[in-house]
Amino acid sequence: MKFDPVSHLDSAVYEIPTDGPEADGTLAWDATTMVVVEIQAGGAHGLGWTYGSGGAQNVIRQQLARVVCGSDPMAVPGTHEAMVRACRNLGRPGIAASAISAVDIALWDLKARLLGVALSDLFGRCHAEVPVYGSGGFTSYDDKRTCEQLHTWVEDWDIPRVKIKIGESWGTNPYRDRRRVALARRVIGDETELFVDANGAYSRKQAIRMGRRFVEDYGVCWFEEPVSSDDLAGLREIRDQCEADIAAGEYGYDLTYFAPLIESGAVDCVQVDVTRCGGYTEWLAVAQLAAAHGLDTSAHCAPNLHAHVAAAVPRLRHIEYFHDHHRIEQELFDGVLDPTGGALRPDRDHPGHGLSLRADRAERYRVS
């Protein structure tokens, strides 16, 4: 069967304010920037996006459009490789990789729509549904807001695992960290799994001390980025001395980033973000590499973009159901999935990832 080549690649940048001040251990923000890509071929279209810098649009326009337009919509890995080569002189990690990710997602979505199948069927499904965990719990929240959010996830949506941010102000407020973890445990009860994420805020010894307390006193079972994810020896040391699973990987922009993270024994579970790592093409490769080393993969944020590809991975742990992205995806897209019950169920009745942009609603946030 022959398909028309890709004819159009359009992009837009949206800036969506948060619903209040947000911070983790090492960063504060008040808006999320989303770069959306739409690709057309033979009367069908594909949709992808990345959460990151609006600068990705420049890369899409100046480097990627010329290799994507005219490409065979069935040959996504080949186009992916051509995009990577086109960005050689830019430096691949960061903004270039985010741009490649958004386009790669749109290309896979386009291919599935041309074939009339769901993305999970195109990749090949292992799971009918994929677990999620509620994620937010910002260090900038007061106790009332923290309790409300935890209550929404656990009581209203029946999600049996949640994560809060710790490491406030680069680890300089450990007493409030402990108090907030204690609060979270009180609110969610004994049977909900409790995760914490320090976003690299602690020193090694501090992380070991804090991690042991979190595990022993509050049953924390997932300790994400206790120290910088660039400190592989430090992650390994903490992993050896702390019973909680150690996780990292959200800043990985290509397969070569993940090789030392995985091979050094730094983590118990690898986090991979399809909007950063190079799209579905690279996400699947990272998950395979992790599996080869006996590790599960967890999808970082962008829950609706991850559902289908996560369903295609045997050793899939869960998807991070992140507060900001939940808000954005619910408001700006049709076809979003419902996390009630603690899992997303990829829709097989709609081709591709099943998502479409609500352009009228998005327009008010458009900046480019």
Number of residues that bind Mg ion (CB under 5 A): 1
To the nearest whole angstrom, how small is the minimum distance from the Cβ of residue 329 to Mg ion? 18
Q: Helices in the chain by DSSP H: which ranges?
A: 55-59, 65-68, 76-86, 95-115, 119-123, 143-151, 168-171, 174-188, 204-218, 232-241, 255-263, 279-292, 303-310, 323-332, 359-362
∠ CA 347-320-113, rounded to 5°: 30
Closer CB to Mg ion, 45 or 318, in the complex? 318
To the nearest whole angstrom, how small is the minimum distance from the Cβ of residue 273 to Mg ion? 9
Contact yes or no for 224/197 (Cβ under 8 A): yes
Residues numbered 34-93 forming contacts with Mg ion, rule: CB under 5 A: none
Rounded to whole angstroms, how far apart are CA atoms 170 and 193? 25
Closer CB to Mg ion, 25 or 346, in the complex? 25
Closer CB to Mg ion, 136 or 354, in the complex? 136
Work out whether strand 245-248 and strand 316-322 pair parallel, antiparallel, or are unpaired.
unpaired
- Say whether residue 254 binds Mg ion (CB under 5 A): no
**x/- binding map, residues 109-148, to Mg ion, per CB under 5 A?**
----------------------------------------
Closer CB to Mg ion, 197 or 254, in the complex? 197
- Tokens linked to 3: 């398909």
Rounded to whole angstroms, how far apart are CA atoms 60 and 58? 5
> Which residue, judged by CB position, is nearest to Mg ion in the bound state?
197
Closer CB to Mg ion, 214 or 365, in the complex? 214
Closer CB to Mg ion, 113 or 161, in the complex? 161
Contacts of 206-211 with C-beta under 8 Å, sequence gap 24+, read 206/171, 206/174, 207/234, 207/238, 207/242, 208/237, 208/238, 208/241, 208/242, 210/166, 210/174, 210/177, 210/178, 211/238, 211/241, 211/242, 211/244
Over the Cα atoms of the chain, what is R_g?
20
To the nearest whole angstrom, how small is the minimum distance from the Cβ of residue 248 to Mg ion? 8
To the nearest whole angstrom, how small is the minimum distance from the Cβ of residue 186 to Mg ion? 23
Residues numbered 164-203 forming contacts with Mg ion, rule: CB under 5 A: 197
To the nearest whole angstrom, how small is the minimum distance from the Cβ of residue 299 to Mg ion? 12
Residues numbered 197-236 forming contacts with Mg ion, rule: CB under 5 A: 197
Closer CB to Mg ion, 177 or 197, in the complex? 197
Compute how many other C-beta atoms are within 10 angstroms of the C-beta atom of residue 230: 11
Rounded to whole angstroms, how far apart are CA atoms 139 and 108? 36
To the nearest whole angstrom, how small is the minimum distance from the Cβ of residue 364 to Mg ion? 29
To the nearest whole angstrom, how small is the minimum distance from the Cβ of residue 144 to Mg ion? 24
Residues that bind Mg ion (CB under 5 A): 197
